[in-house]
Amino acid sequence: AGCGDKDAAGGSDDGKLVMGFSQVGAESGWRTANTNDIKAAAPAAGIELKFSDAQGKQENQISAIRGFITQKVDVIAFSPVVTSGWDAVLKEAKDADIPVILTDRAVDSQDTSLYKTFLGSDFVKEGKEAGDWLVKDSAGKTGPINVVELQGTTGAAPAIDRQKGFAEAIAANPNIKIVKSQTGDFKRADGKTVMEQFLQSTPKIDVLYAHNDDMGLGAIEAIEAAGKVPGKDIKIITVDAVKDGMTALAAGKINYIVECSPLLGTQLMELAKKVHAGESVEQRILTQETTFTQEQAKAALPDRKY
């Protein structure tokens, strides 16, 4: 875009808007799809992207953001690995006059002037939809329904909110009880090991609620290794609806998936142009999402983009 002192001082030589983006890592299929989408959307929008992978560590994200400030990028965007601990670095960006856009995950900063907007899903709603399905599925059943929960990364917005929404929804049926709840860090390998521990320590597991597909897919391996049938002996509910998850859903190994879209790139680039131009944008922009039963997954799979 190339007007004003900020561009003259740094950023791009060819007048392109420069975005510094700090990604969480590569913990899941969702994250890979999100990264690919952002990397494709930037050049399509004529934006130069400086992409940094934090490998799941907040300190890496903080130093990446500091680096973007030093380089005087035009806009900083990031997906915060956890919600807390961002005030200082966001203040540094603000003092340097560099607008910040949150994508995918929220921060818990009280001062909302530290960022321009937050683009991403309503994770409480996702958890609620997962719980609502279980409440419906459990209607008329007598006796306790024992649920084990695989939580996402401790302290991450989607882990906090998906736990909350689910708990609120299942309160409608006192027979449904969460008997174990532990983090699997949104990763397939961790989902498998934690599920192995659940299976050893808990005699009767009726339902698994995993905060993402990957942990659910890892857990399926543990369930099968224990001689049980996923989707039948243990019902499985997950969030994301990435291709591997949808494939397992269509095959009957998962029972229900709440969609969470990773395709945030195009919207992010449009927002970057607006905030760079000084236009006002909505403080909160929600992504459009749906839910999938096994039959719906069969129908949707052939056209699934991620």
Q: Which of 99, 127, 158, 230 is close enough to bind ligand GYE by CB under 6 A?
A: 158
Q: How many CA atoms lie within 13 A of 116 on its CB side?
A: 23
Number of residues that bind ligand GYE (CB under 6 A): 13
Closest CB to ligand GYE among residues 82, 147: 82
Q: How far is the CB of 291 from ligand GYE (least distance, A)?
A: 14
SS3 (DSSP) at 142: coil
DSSP 210-261: ESSHHHHHHHHHHHHHTT--BTTTBEEEEEE--HHHHHHHHTTS--EEEE--
Euclidean distance between CA atoms 292 and 258, whole angstroms? 6
Binding mask 101-130 for ligand GYE (x = CB under 6 A): ---xx-------------------------
Interface segment toward ligand GYE; rule CB under 6 A; list 24-32, 95-103, 110-118, 137-145 = 24-32
Note whether 31 binds ligand GYE by CB under 6 A.
Answer: yes
Q: Which of 20, 21, 23, 27 is close enough to bind ligand GYE by CB under 6 A?
A: 27
Strand stretches in the chain, DSSP E: 17-23, 47-53, 75-78, 100-103, 117-120, 145-151, 176-183, 207-210, 235-240, 256-259, 284-286, 291-292
Q: How far is the CB of 222 from ligand GYE (least distance, A)?
A: 18
Q: How far is the CB of 27 from ligand GYE (least distance, A)?
A: 5
Window 198 to 237, contacts with ligand GYE (CB under 6 A): 212, 214
Interface segment toward ligand GYE; rule CB under 6 A; list 14-22, 23-31, 176-184, 282-290 = 23-31
Note whether 186 binds ligand GYE by CB under 6 A.
Answer: yes
| One-letter identity of residue 285 | I
Edge-to-edge strand ranges of the sheet holding 291-292: 176-183, 145-151, 207-210, 235-240, 256-259, 291-292
Chain positions contacting ligand GYE, by CB under 6 A: 27-28, 30-31, 104-105, 158, 186, 212, 214, 239-240, 260
